[in-house]
Structure 1
Amino acid sequence: MSVRELVVLGTGSQAPSRTRNHNGYLLRWDSEGLLFDPGEGTQRQLLFAGVPASAISRICLTHFHGDHCLGVPGIVQRLSLDAVSRPVRAHYPASGAHYFAKLRHASVFHEVAELIEEPIEAEGTLATGPFGELRVRRLDHPVEAFGYQLVEPDDRSMVPGLLAAHGISGPDVGELRRAGSLRGVSLAEVSVPRPGQRVAFVMDTRLCDGVFALAQDADLLVIESTFLSEDEALAHEHGHLTAAQAARVAAECGVRTLVLTHFSQRYRDPARFHAEAAEVYGGEIVVAEDLMRVPVPRRRTTE
């Protein structure tokens, strides 16, 4: 059975707190496991979440500030300690390759896992596969940063009643899907459109074109909201978003579920982030907490 969910491993920002670990987010997407921005302590958070290192297929870094990458050494070494058999790919801004090299080889260990580095040189599609496309866009932060977007292609869902009406069953169903027609019956006659799902991951940034492009039509948008609007000037100065700005993105881009995270330790009441976002965005809002699991919403339907 396929699983599509976000496992939240950490929701803090520059400094962890007693209740919020450094960043860390695992997107479980069928057989794929995309680990975004593993901050310090991510290896232990995976243990608390009940997720093995073998679930990771890609490590995706947005940039090289410590709260987004200091967990890399522990994750890399855990892959070998657990003898993870499948290759794991690592994506990160190419301008920070020297930092990744230091993180990857931070201490002595017996490396047996296969880690394939695929640095990000420019915007575009990083990878394709059964999962769809993994794309990146530039963000606006004091250091080079990229946001990620996972896009599943549109498809069609078979309608059992229509298949039965045309006398199509068993292996013929697969043949019809592959060929597009069978014995004079077209795929369109026995199926309905099935829109692909989209997940966007946006960390440290000011509002910019890349943010809106990544969030467009996302079923699930995981986005930083480090500050509240009362500190908007501070947010802009340091290259961050407020909860209201994150909500504006969700509202303008047709996002279905908005996940707010990466909170400054200066704020004690998480409900304030929800309240501020709700003034701008009327969809589902999740104020992320460590070890929370957020399901990817059910597929959009077509008329």
Structure 2
Amino acid sequence: MSTRELVVLGTASQVPTRHRNQNGYLLRWDGEGILFDPGEGTQRQMLRAGVAATDVTRICVTHFHGDHSLGLPGVIQRLSLDKVPHPVHAHFPASGAHYFARMRHATAFYEQADLREHPIAEDGPIATGKLTLEARRLSHPVEAFGYRLIEPDGRTMLPGKLRERGIAGPDVGWLQREGRLGATNLEDVSEPRPGQRFAFVMDTRLCDAVYALSENADTLVIESTFLAEDTSLAKDFGHLTARQAARVAAESGVRQLVLTHFSQRYPDPGRFEAEARAEFDGEIVVAQDLERVQVPKRRSFPTRQEAP
């Protein structure tokens, strides 16, 4: 059975608090384990959350501010210490490649892991295969990219229709691969199965990329550093408010909104949910450290047409 869940490792913004570690998010997606923005303390949070180094197949860094990347040295060294047997692909802004190199070799260790660097210089797909991983440039004081995971659309076979036409066993696989078996087309015995979408949007002002990343997302993980009362402050420092994040979700057809990256100036997390609820009537999660958030089940109907 496939597993699609977000393991929240940290939810603070610039500095950790007594209850919130700096950023860190592990997306389990079938056989993939994508670690987003490992801030300081991520290695210990992984231990507390039951996440092993061998679970990580990709590391995606949005930008090189410390709360999103200072956990890299420990995580990278742990990959070698635990002799992770598979390649781990690392994606990050190309303009910060020198920061990544410094953190990769921050101290002496015996490097055994196969860590493959993939600097990002422009918008578009950065990994393809069974899933497509895209990156888009955000609006922040330093270069930052958001990420979007896309599962291709497919079709769900209908057992009753297959029985009516006497199709069973290996013939089902043939029909799925070739699209036609005798007088039967694939469309005759199946229905559309929309692929799922996951979006990860960290430090940014409102910009076109935020909407492009969020479009039709089943789960949108998005920063909401500030509340609406501090909108001007958010804009000055390149961040979003909870209200802005929720409005993006509402306008983009998002199903599940995960708010995170909270400023320590707001002691009551309930205020973020209340503000978001005024804009968005879907599922809202105000992320807590060590929480596990399940990706919603597949849509039962096609998504609306996405913008090019």
Q: Verify same fold: TM over 0.5.
A: yes
How big is the shift at 1:241? 0.3
Matched, 1:203 2:227: no
Code of the residue aligned with 1:147 in structure 2: it is G
Distance 1:268 1:121 in 2: 38
For 1:186-265, list aligned pairs within 5 A. 186-265=185-264
Instruction: Report what 1:105 is aligned to.
Output: 105
Code of the residue aligned with 2:239 in structure 1: it is H
Distance 2:275 2:23 in 1: 22
| Structure 2: gaps of 5 or more residues | 303-308
Distance 1:50 1:165 in 2: 47
How big is the shift at 1:184? 1.6
For 1:72-91, list aligned pairs within 5 A. 72-91=72-91
Matched, 1:31 2:31: yes
Runs of 4+ residues over 6 Å off in structure 1: none
Code of the residue aligned with 1:140 in structure 2: it is S
Instruction: Report what 2:15 is aligned to.
Output: 15
Distance 2:39 2:165 in 1: 55
SS of structure 1 residue aligned to 2:120:
coil
Matched, 1:175 2:152: no
Distance 2:43 2:184 in 1: 52
TM-score normalized with structure 2 length: 0.97
How big is the shift at 1:129? 1.3
Matched, 1:295 2:294: yes
Distance 1:291 1:232 in 2: 29
Matched, 1:126 2:140: no
How many residues align? The count is 302
How big is the shift at 1:270? 0.3
Instruction: Report what 1:47 is aligned to.
Output: 47
How big is the shift at 1:183? 2.0
Code of the residue aligned with 2:31 in structure 1: it is S
SS of structure 1 residue aligned to 2:140:
coil
Greater CA drift, 46-55 or 219-228: 46-55
Distance 1:123 1:246 in 2: 21
Q: CA RMSD in A?
A: 0.7
Code of the residue aligned with 2:119 in structure 1: it is P
SS of structure 1 residue aligned to 2:70:
coil
Code of the residue aligned with 2:229 in structure 1: it is E
Instruction: Report what 1:147 is aligned to.
Output: 146
Q: Deviations over 1:79-136 (max 9, x none)?
A: 0111000000000000000000001001111111100000001000001112x21001
Distance 1:294 1:168 in 2: 39
SS of structure 2 residue aligned to 1:245:
helix
Instruction: Report what 2:306 is aligned to.
Output: none
How big is the shift at 1:51? 1.2
| Structure 1: gaps of 5 or more residues | none
Distance 2:255 2:167 in 1: 36
Distance 1:302 1:284 in 2: 18
Matched, 1:56 2:56: yes
Distance 2:176 2:279 in 1: 42
How big is the shift at 1:253? 0.2
Code of the residue aligned with 1:48 in structure 2: it is R
Distance 2:163 2:77 in 1: 53
SS of structure 1 residue aligned to 2:264:
coil
Distance 1:65 1:72 in 2: 12
Instruction: Report what 1:94 is aligned to.
Output: 94
SS of structure 2 residue aligned to 1:119:
strand
Q: Deviations over 1:237-265 (max 9, x none)?
A: 10000000000100100100000000001
Seq. identity, %: 68
Distance 1:102 1:302 in 2: 47
SS of structure 1 residue aligned to 2:136:
strand
Q: Deviations over 1:159-182 (max 9, x none)?
A: 111111111111111111001111
Distance 1:177 1:54 in 2: 33
Code of the residue aligned with 1:133 in structure 2: it is T
Distance 2:20 2:151 in 1: 31
How big is the shift at 1:280? 0.7
Distance 1:75 1:183 in 2: 54
SS of structure 1 residue aligned to 2:300:
coil
Matched, 1:157 2:164: no
